[in-house]
A and B are shown apart, each in its own frame.
Chain A
């Protein structure tokens, strides 16, 4: 078994891992990044689907990429461009009274007024309050400091951390469509929209920023894979060693902390190890050292019952919504009533397929035609909540899920299902081992989440953030903390 030495090791070649490697390399550390799979990018990469079509593998639109990561690592210079910077949100209804929320305040007001006049009046007030709270909450990860809030905001946030998103929205709006559209985002990360704290996850979502726009959703030119390429380029140029097909078998832990990792055929020693794996998996790599930690036990008890699934179709023709003219660059949400999400959550939690599925759909090829050859198109749908293990098992029910999604889409995009030439379905276990959103910790200072009880071992993936998202934030924070401590 051969051995080598470096300054830092990064486990996992997803967005967080690449960002961590780039940050470390920029501080003149000798970094080795170890990715088990054949390609870099993890859930954010592009994947081929049939002849020349590139589909976003898992993450299909970005909303949380930290602007400081973009700036620090000069990602724009390394090729990151956006095809859509602020995608409107559209909810299609069977009766044609579609709801479109965009950055244009007048159009949005008119669209909401179609549903309810009083909601249209409440909307600017709601946005005002939501964004004010969101800005207050942002000090948590922008300044890496304890929360600095006014007393009123503190009380408001604490109240929301105990409120269900649907109960909160009920106090603002009466229109089912509007509430359902907003609830879809609150239901991320295995939370029920009725559960205490899901209201806070709405604020969390509004606090995210992309392309300098608060609460926006953007699509990179060339798909999410462009972000992977830009990060990898930034890391390589700074001198990082990015290795694929390198699976970590074990962490080497000595008395005073971590001293390296063991691969199948070699060992690499380093005083710093950054893991982007989920915390449970990370600790499983060093079972003896992690056994006694209460933290590890807590994590093991933190099970979810629902997850997300991704359905991607390649189409032979551009789908056209029946009737009205709509921007195909929107993100479409299919959940007609707030109860749809609550029922789907309840059914999924019990392991049943929900009667009515809720999903978000985008048309990447309509936003960026380079993803598919001329005439071909892509539909990318994120279904949630969905059972982690439905009765019958996922292998048997994959096709059913695709048919259900196509069935719902058919109602709004006539004869879409006849245009499908290829389909790809990712089940919750393939997509990501999802973790419940940690609402209680959203309001506390979460920099500590990057630390582990093993000295020198840092977490910088989704586990380190209150809600998992493609942000690069945890990597930036973990590296800063580790280097600061070294000094």
Chain B
């Protein structure tokens, strides 16, 4: 890697997550001097795998990634670099009291499959609309959807004004199957499935899949693509401020005081952090500032990583189902109750749990004979109503989760060698997601899709010239991997070409 002596670049990208790396690869390939600044020592952001107990590894934040648009996957040559999506596994629901299980595959010709397919089409429509709205020239760019297709019908009211229970209830026969689909959509989130607008969660959850060999492979592949294209990636650097001149972003100031000049900047941080922590508030338009301060984050995910000396019999009995997520006792009412607790800052009585025995599909994560279970709990508040996440509160949550698991799958806790609990404030601290919200903002109708504040239409442009947003808070960000980065990169290229950034 060539280190440039002068600190002037064409494009500076803040954050080396999937979006930042994809944007860097595409911009560097267009012969622009591109710099990526990453606060952590490693690239990847949430797309990472680490050792949490000697010999046992797991992805601490997410188990799976939303899909990468096919043409982008191809353009970045990710398969050759080792990032291969595993086929969508079975998803299982387990009710301990009835000892019954329901399994489903996401891609069947069942009513459930049709509903999820509809959601996937809507996600494509969002990406496509983002491209069109950003006026990205047709010929300069490998289109996200590859083909020249007319825009899909806009996924408007169907998703934003119906409740999850209603949209699932009308499409899916059977109460158990419906509860299962609901759990699949709300996994690790907080929402009342009976409230209007929660159907949006179906959009943001469809078709997520894992990477062969762990998520780390994806981070490595993207880093490789960016490096090969000639982008410069600097880890361990934190952007502390963006200076503006005449309404245009000009200089990124690092935490150590270094100033970096760039013609365009792409932030992959979430919306709130991008605007409120990088800019002087007095330099932001007052209306924008007001809307961003009112933008709601909804961190609700806790993760419990378990290292087991062997796979307990109760689990081994599930067989092939272990390749996919196992939702414990999903139920609409319980979800609503957990949401009510989350709203007031309480740890719910029965947080909705999803287990994933990650070592089954990827044996390299555990030593021979051992097993790794990643448990995702939803509706875990970022702020507890009575104070901080102390050791005692964490212990309480850990006990609650383990008790619930033991009830459904006896014997799990007697095999535990080590465990790590990650609560929303940890996620905020480790990957910088405000309030630990991995979706980049509450998935509510008034702040999703075209109503995201601080963004023009569905694209990456912000009211500040030369400052672009990628990352989870953009319209496509929460719905697809890398897509937001690619849209931002294409927008920068289009603007540079049109002379809008002189």
| Interface status of A410 (Cβ within 8 A of chain B) | no
Supposing A162-B451, A196-B197, A197-B196 touch, asked if A343 and B344 sit within 8 A by C-beta, the answer is: yes
Q: Is B451 touching A159 in the complex (CB atoms < 8 A)?
A: yes
* Contact of B157 with A440 in the complex, beta carbons under 8 Å: yes
Residue from B169, B196, B296 whose CB has the most chain A CB atoms within 10 Å:
B196
Question: Quick one: which of B443-483 are within 8 Å of A by CB?
Answer: 444-446, 451
Known: A171-B291, A192-B195, A349-B194. A162 touches B160 (CB 8 A): yes
Q: Does B404 contact A (CB under 8 A)?
A: no
Out of A159, A163, A197, A301, name the residue touching B170 (CB < 8 Å): A301
**Closest B-chain residue to A198, C-beta based?**
B196
CB-CB under 8 A from B196, the residues of chain A are: 195-197, 439
Interface residues of B in 97-123 (CB under 8 A from A): none
**In the complex, A309→B337 CA distance in Å?**
23
Say if the beta carbon of B340 comes within 8 Å of chain A: yes
Decide if A179 is an interface residue (CB 8 Å cutoff). Answer: no
Whether A346 lies near B194 (C-beta < 8 A) is no
Tell me whether chain B's interface is mostly helix, strand or loop, or mixed.
Answer: helix
Contact between B446 and A196, CB atoms less than 8 A apart: yes
Q: Is there contact, CB below 8 Å, between B170 and A196? A: no
Which listed residue, B197, B294, B336, touches A349 by the CB 8 Å rule?
B336
Residue of A nearest to B446 (CB): A163
**Residue in A168, A196, A301, A350 whose Cβ sees the most chain B Cβ within 10 Å:** A196
Q: Is the CB of A440 within 8 A of B161?
A: yes
Residues of A within 8 A of B340 (CB): 346-347, 350
Which A residues are CB-close (under 8 A) to B71? none
Q: Is B364 an interface residue (CB 8 A)?
A: no
The answer to whether B195 and A197 have CB atoms under 8 Å apart is no
| CB proximity of B291 to chain A, nearest CB, Å | 7
B343 at the interface (CB under 8 A from A): yes
Q: A195-B197, A350-B333, A350-B340 are in contact. Are A164 and B290 (CB under 8 A)?
A: no
A21 to B399 CA separation, bound complex (whole angstroms):
66
Q: A163-B445, A171-B290, A350-B336 are in contact. Are A196 and B343 (CB under 8 A)?
A: no
Min Cβ gap A122→B in Å is: 11
Which of chain A's residues have a CB closer than 8 A to the CB of B170? Answer: 301
A162-B161, A195-B195, A196-B161 known; A167-B291 Cβ under 8 A: no
Q: Could you tell me if A194 and B195 are in contact, using CB atoms closer than 8 angstroms?
A: yes
**B446, A167: Cβ atoms under 8 Å?**
yes
- How far, in angstroms, from A439 to B196 measured CA to CA in the complex? 10
B133 CB to closest chain A CB (Å) equals 15
- Is A460 interfacial (CB-CB < 8 Å)? no
| Residue interface mask B181-213, A partner, CB < 8 A = 1 | 000000000001011110000000000000000
Q: Which residues of B contact A60 (CB under 8 A)?
A: none
Cβ-defined contact, A301 with B446, below 8 A: no
Contact B343 A346 (CB under 8 A): yes
Q: B197 touching A162 by the CB < 8 A rule?
A: yes
Asked if B40 is at the interface (CB within 8 A of a chain A CB), the reply is no
B294 and A170 contact, CB distance less than 8 A: yes
- Cβ B194 vs Cβ A167 within 8 A: no
Interface size class of B (residues with CB under 8 A): 20 to 34
CB distance from A351 to the nearest CB of B (A): 9
Instruction: Please report the C-alpha to C-alpha distance between residue A435 and residue B333 in the assembled complex, in whole angstroms.
Output: 20
Say whether, besides A195-B197, A196-B444, A350-B336, A161 and B192 are in contact (CB < 8 Å).
no
Nearest residue (CB) in A for B162 is: A440
Q: Which range contains the number of A residues in contact with the other chain?
A: 20 to 34
Asked if B227 is at the interface of the complex by the 8 Å CB criterion, the answer is no
Query: What residues on A are CB-neighbors of B344 within 8 Å?
Result: 343
Does B244 count as interface, using CB distance less than 8 angstroms? no
Cβ of A207 < 8 Å from any Cβ of B? no
B413 within 8 A of A: no
Q: Could you tell me the distance between the alpha carbons of A298 and B499 in the complex, rounded to whole angstroms?
A: 53
Contact check, B446 vs A162: say whether CB atoms are below 8 A apart.
yes
- Is B430 part of the binding interface, using a Cβ–Cβ cutoff of 8 Å? no
State in angstroms the CA–CA spacing of A197 and B444 once bound together: 11
Interface membership of A305, Cβ < 8 A: yes
* Pair B336/A162 contact, Cβ less than 8 Å: no
- What's the least CB distance linking B462 to chain A, in Å? 19
User: Is A342 positioned at the interface, with any CB of B under 8 Å from its CB?
Assistant: yes
Nearest CB in chain B to that of A440: its residue = B161
A residues 131-166 in Cβ contact with B at 8 Å:
159, 161-164
CA A387 to CA B233, docked complex, whole Å: 57
Contact with B along A350-389 (1 / 0, CB 8 A): 1000000000000000000000000000000000000000
Q: Is B444 within 8 A of A164, CB to CB?
A: yes
Whole-angstrom distance between the Cβ of B270 and the nearest chain A Cβ: 18
Chain A residue contacts of B339, Cβ below 8 A: 346
1/0 per position for B152-183, CB-CB distance to A under 8 A?
00000100110000100110000000000000
0/1 per residue, A177-218, Cβ < 8 Å to B? Answer: 000000000000000101111010000000000000000000
B445, A196: Cβ atoms closer than 8 Å: yes
Closest A residue to B295 by beta carbon equals A167
- In the complex, what residues of B have CB within 8 A of residue A163's CB? 445-446
Task: Point out the residues of chain B lying under 8 angstroms from A197, CB to CB.
Answer: 161, 196-197, 445
Within 8 A of A (CB), among B266-295: 290-291, 294
Complex interface: chain A residues within 8 A of B294 (CB)? 167, 170-171
User: Which residues does chain B contribute within 8 Å of A194, judged by CB atoms?
Assistant: 195
Q: How far is the CB of A295 from the nearest CB of chain B, in Å? A: 14
Residues of chain A within 8 A of B333, CB atoms compared: 350
List residues of B (356-371) whose CB comes within 8 Å of A's CBs: none
**Docked CA distance A159–B447 (Å):** 10
Residue in A196, A199, A305 whose CB lies within 8 Å of B194: A305
**CA gap between A364 and B483 in the complex, in Å:** 61
Give a binary string over A51-81; 1 marks a CB under 8 Å from any B CB, 0 the rest: 0000000000000000000000000000000
Are B192's CB and A346's CB within 8 A? Answer: yes
CB-defined contacts of A159 to chain B, threshold 8 Å = 446, 451
- The residue in chain B whose Cβ has the minimal distance to the Cβ of A343 is B344
Measured between C-beta atoms, what is the minimum distance from A72 to chain B in Å?
35
The docked-state distance in angstroms from the alpha carbon of A161 to that of B162 is 12
Instruction: Find out whether the CB atom of A342 lies under 8 angstroms from the CB atom of B343.
Output: yes
Q: Would you give the shortest CB distance from B199 to chain A, in whole angstroms?
A: 10
A301 touches B197 (CB 8 A): no
The 8 A CB mask of B286-308 against A (1 = contact, 0 = none) is 00001100101000000000000
Determine the residue in chain B with the shortest Cβ distance to A298: B170
How distant is the Cα of A199 from the Cα of B161 in the complex, in angstroms? Answer: 13
Contacts of B336 in A (CB 8 A): 349-350
Q: Which residue of B lies closest to A199 (CB)?
A: B446
Which residue in A168, A301, A346 is a CB contact (below 8 Å) of B166? A301
Q: How far is the CA of A142 from the CA of B165 in the complex (A)?
A: 35
Q: Which A residues, 415 to 470, have Cβ-Cβ distances below 8 Å to chain B?
A: 439-440
Residue of B whose beta carbon sits closest to that of A164:
B446
User: Chain B 108-143 against A: per-residue CB contact (8 Å), 1 yes, 0 no?
Assistant: 000000000000000000000000000000000000
Docked Cα-Cα span, A440 to B446, in Å, equals 14
Contacts of A171 in B (CB 8 A): 290-291, 294
Closest B residue to A297 using CB positions: B170
CA distance A161 to B445 in the complex (A): 9
Q: Which residues of A contact B446 (CB under 8 A)?
A: 159, 162-164, 167-168, 196, 199
Q: Which residues of B contact A343 (CB under 8 A)?
A: 343-344
Q: How far is the CB of A451 from chain B (nearest CB, A)?
A: 21
Q: In the assembly, what is the distance between CA of A168 and CA of B291, in Å?
A: 10
- Looking at the assembled complex, report how far the CB atom of B485 sits from the nearest CB atom of chain A, in whole angstroms: 27
6 contacts between A and B (CB under 8 A): A159-B451, A168-B446, A195-B195, A301-B170, A343-B343, A349-B336
Extra pairs beyond A163-B446, A197-B196, A343-B344 (12, CB < 8 Å): A159-B446, A164-B446, A171-B291, A197-B197, A342-B343, A343-B343, A346-B340, A349-B192, A350-B336, A350-B337, A439-B196, A440-B161
Ranked nearest first, the 4 interchain pairs of A and B with the lowest CB-CB distance are A196-B445, A163-B446, A196-B197, A162-B445
Binding site for A on B (CB under 8 A): 157, 160-161, 166, 169-170, 192, 194-197, 290-291, 294, 296, 333, 336-337, 339-340, 343-344, 444-446, 451
